[in-house]
Amino acid sequence: MTEIQATDVILAATVAADDDAAPRKSVWRRFEPTILGTGTIILLLLVWQFLPDFVPMKAGTKLFFTVPSHIAGTLWTMFATGSIWKPLGVSASAFAIGLLLAIVAGLPLGVLLGRSATLNAMIDPFITAFNATPRLVFLPLLMLWFGIGIWSKVAVVFLGALFPLLINTYEGVRNADKLLINVVRSFGAGEWDIARLVVVPNSLPFIIVGLRLAIGRAVLGVVVSEFFGSQDGLGVVMVRAASQFKVDIVFAGLIVFAALSLIMTGLVKLLENRLTRWRPQHSNAG
C-alpha cells in the first residue's frame, strides 16, 4: 500500500468515526438543557426535603415550613377528592377568557398602529400611560363595575395581557422589511395583502415574544385579582389556607399556577416552531 493510499484510508476512517460520533453528540446537545434543568430541579427538591433533618428549626419556624413530599401528598389529595377542580376551573376560565380577548384585541390593533402613523399618534399616549400604570390600581374600579365575580378577574387579565401583545406586535410591524413591502406593493397588492403576506409573517418573532409575556401577565392578573377581590378561585383557596397556616395547600396552589404557566408557554413554543419552519436554514458548511 502506497503512502497516499494509507493516508486516504486513515482519512476515511477518521471521517467514519466522526460520522458515528456525530449523532451521539447531536443527541446530547438536543437533550442537554432538559437533562441539566431536570437534574437541577431534582437536586433542589432533595435539599429542600432533607433540610429539616440537618438544620435545627424553632417551633414557630416549623409551623410555616413544609417539604416537597408533604406538598405532593396534599396536591394528590386535592385532585383525588375533587376539592381543587371547582376553584381551578374558575381561575382557568378567567385566564382563558381574558387572554383570548387580549389576543383578539391586541394583535389587530398592533398591526393597525404599526401601519398607520396617524392612528399611532392619536392612540400612543393612552397606550403609554396605561402600560406604565400598575394593573392593581384598576382593581377597585373594576370590582365596582363588574362585581367580585369572574368578570372582574377577566378584566384584570385582559388589561395585563393586552399591552405586551399590542406593543410587541406594533414593534414587529414597524420592523417589517420595507423593501419587500415595496416589491409586493409594486405588483398591485393592497394594504390587506401587504399585511397578510409580508407584515404579519415578518412580525411573528415579536408576536411570539409578546404572547409569552402576555401569558405571564395573565396568570399574575388571575392571582392578584383572586387575592384581593374574589369569592372563588384557586387564589382564594390559597389565601384562606394561609390564614389557617396550611402551608402545604399554599404551595400546592403555587405549583398549579406555575404548571399552568409552563404548559401555556410550552404550547406557545410549539406554535413558534411550527410557524417559523418557512424560514430558510443557514448552512454551517464552508
| Res 158: pLDDT | 92
Q: Which three cell numbers stand for residue 56?
A: 435545627
- Domain-wise residue ranges, the chain: 3-56, 63-275
C-beta separation of 52 from 66 below 8 A: no
Residue 63: band (very low, low, confident or very high) from pLDDT cuts 50, 70, 90: low
Alpha carbon distance 160, 139 (integer Å): 11
Our CA dihedral for 180, 182, 186, 190, rounded to 10 degrees, sits at 90
Q: Which residue has 409578546 as its cell numbers?
A: 210
Span 139-144, average pLDDT: 82
pLDDT tens per residue across span 16-25: 444 444 455 5
Closest by CA position to 218, among listed 145, 165, 283? 165
Q: Identify the residue with better confidence: 1 or 265.
A: 265
C-beta separation of 121 from 179 below 8 A: no
Alpha carbon distance 199, 209 (integer Å): 16
SS3 246: coil
Span 244-259, average pLDDT: 88
Query: Mean pLDDT in the chain?
Result: 78
Least confidently predicted of 79-88, 123-132, 174-183: 174-183
Residues in the chain: 286
| Res 286: pLDDT | 39
Q: Which residue has 397588492 as its cell numbers?
A: 189
pLDDT tens per residue across span 35-49: 887 888 888 888 877
Alpha carbon distance 77, 58 (integer Å): 28
Question: What dotted CATH number matches 63-275?
Answer: 1.10.3720.10
150 class by beta-carbon count within 10 Å (0-12 exposed, 13-18 middle, 19+ buried): buried
Which phi-psi region, left, alpha or beta, contains residue 281 (left: φ > 0; alpha: ψ -120 to 50)? beta
C-beta separation of 205 from 172 below 8 A: yes
SS3 133: coil
pLDDT tens per residue across span 224-243: 888 887 778 888 888 888 88
Residue 101: band (very low, low, confident or very high) from pLDDT cuts 50, 70, 90: very high
